[in-house]
A and B are shown apart, each in its own frame.
Chain A
Amino acid sequence: MKRKIGIFISILLILFWSLAPVYWALRTSLMSSSSLIQKPLKYLPYPINIENYSQLLGFNSSQSIWPQFESAMLNSIISATGTTLIVIVIAILAGYAFGRLEFVGKNIIFVSVLVTMALPAYAVMIPLYKIIISLHLIDTQTGIILIYTSAFAPLAVWLMRSFFMTIPKDLEESAMVDGASRFRALCTILPMAAPGLIAVALLTFLNSWSQFAIPLVFAPTNAKPLTILITEFQGKSFINYGLMTAAGIVTIIPPILIVLFLNRYLISGLTAGSVKG
């Protein structure tokens, strides 16, 4: 019983630790600028003020920032979705190759792919910047998606490789005897790798969505995503906390929805893949 209470309290603490900032952002976004600086501090957003949201989403025409917000939102969606799609294709093909095929240098190539995960992003920032400049891809969605793909593909390949290794070989061999090509055989076992695919897609999407440093350097204007836009609601002498937090709250809605609907696949995908590796 004591143990249970201990666990319960620990969970409460962790929940508080992670949710308190979100609540504080929500509370701030629902208050007017004047009531924010009132003393004593208000813990509840009362009276509720939706001015920040209407400004953000363009309901209030006078000071609408919807055009900027809309374009940043689109940028975020395009870069995260584009990266996810490309990473999935790479992860399926490379994961299968590393998990199933025999070829010269397989282990060395696989380890090299994994090693890139250990490199901190900042270590490659400057060379990467030069490469992207020389390719004329700076401040473009293509450039951002390329960088994200190179950053997130190794983990995805690793996950899918472990996943393919748990699927019995017989299934593909049987398909090949029955008339399927190697690629077609891979397609027939893909439905069995679905939990792994969903896990890979989720991780990649969430990671891409929440990037800050990379877009700050590589996509400061045209391809600017939400994470960068949020920081711009400040003037020389004034920080618009209300607008900033409102934008933050809107920004976390898509990932929250995705996780809510797909989290059971995420968990089964990550654990099933980890049995063999």
Chain B
Amino acid sequence: MASIVLNHIKKHYGKSDSNAVKDFNLHIDDKEFIVLVGPSGCGKSTTLRMIAGLEDISEGDIYIDNNRVNKLAPKDRDIAMVFQSYALYPYMTVYENIGFGLKMRKFKKQEIDERVRHAAKILGLEPYLKRKPKDLSGGQRQRVALGRAIVRNPKVFLMDEPLSNLDAKLRIQMRSEIIKLHRRLNTTTIYVTHDQVEAMTMADRIVIMKDGEIQQVGTPEEIYNQPANIFVGSFIGYPGMNFIPAKFSEGSILIENSRFNLLDEEIKLLTKHHYQDKSLIVAIRPEDIHMASAGTDSSFEALIEISELLGSESVLHTSIHHHDLLVKVFASNIKSNDKIDLQFDFTKMLFFDAETKKLIH
């Protein structure tokens, strides 16, 4: 068990000026489950590999359990890593694969045997110990990779997109298994993924990255409800958040020539930050736009271009003054080309600066 501190971490390759990771600062508490999430190329895997010691740190310091580990070889950092490809040795049995790390660290045969069998029991791998990886299903291979990590009882687990190679159904199953495993072992875990659903469902805290920079750090609720900027808002949540250019004037917002009255709190907020008669971006999640009966105050009529039925709910593609709008409603009877009345839930509405793209709060 250990806390991890990343202090002004930077990574650049060769002589190039552009940084793959730019000034990364994070304090990870003991037992915490941290998810690094972002689009490909955002530097999340590089950051993880620097913590693992597989990548040199260009600038800054990393501390694991209060020890500076910058110069330590991966094997001396007391970490375990699960790779996207599982990294199992094809010529070794499941038993040998799980016990590999212990053998490398010169554990006694009996101890190895006990630990491997214990890990296999936790992961339901007991019947497969004598098999080779090629005779296992994707999910089982994934479990073997997890087994290799937990058998050593390391201070930290690092997981690099461990579920990306699984099909959707298995991914959901393994997701909950990893969460259960974390509850059971309580080992500090850093988990890298590009899948926002994994981030939302697994993390104690999420770190959202883009272009080598942290965009926001927070609990899933914080990130979902108070995204720090437009990128975070659009990245987290499905379907994505709606962003509509608008103007704040006289206690209401103007979307083109439609006027919507704001709540007192919102007027106060925008006035305080001097947005009077200025452009800004209004953001609202698809589930915060509701169907309204015609003629209700601040409702508007919308033509449904596409209606996607997801089961109990539908995602409607529509627009307001030529700005695309996604709406999620609990109704299955709305068809394409229908015209319906909609209404914003103003308590859930967020405002972003039109230039900096940052949340106004």
| A contacts, CB < 8 Å to B | 168, 170-171, 173-181, 184, 188, 191-192
Contact = CB atoms under 8 A, between A and B. Distances in A.
B83 A170 contact: yes
Contacts of B155: none
A180 B91 contact: no
Contacts of A184: 104
A173 B79 CA distance: 12
Q: Which of A170, A171, A174 has the most CB of B within 10 A?
A: A174
A178 B54 contact: no
Interface of B: 52-54, 73-75, 79-81, 83-87, 89-91, 100-101, 104-105, 148, 152, 158
A171 B88 CA distance: 7
A178 B85 contact: no
B148 A178 contact: yes
B87 A171 contact: yes
Contacts of A177: 52-54, 74-75, 79-81, 158
A270 B13 CA distance: 33
Nearest to A188: B89
A171 B104 contact: no
A91 to B, nearest CB: 20
B20 to A, nearest CB: 15
Given A170-B85, A173-B54, A174-B83, A179 B91 contact: no
Nearest to B77: A177
Given A173-B54, A173-B74, A192-B90, A178 B83 contact: no
A188 B87 CA distance: 12
B89 A179 contact: no
Contacts of A168: 85, 87
Contact of B87 (A170, A179, A180, A181): A170
Contact of B104 (A170, A179, A192): A179
Contacts of B90: 192
Contact of B83 (A173, A179, A181, A192): A173
A179 B101 contact: yes
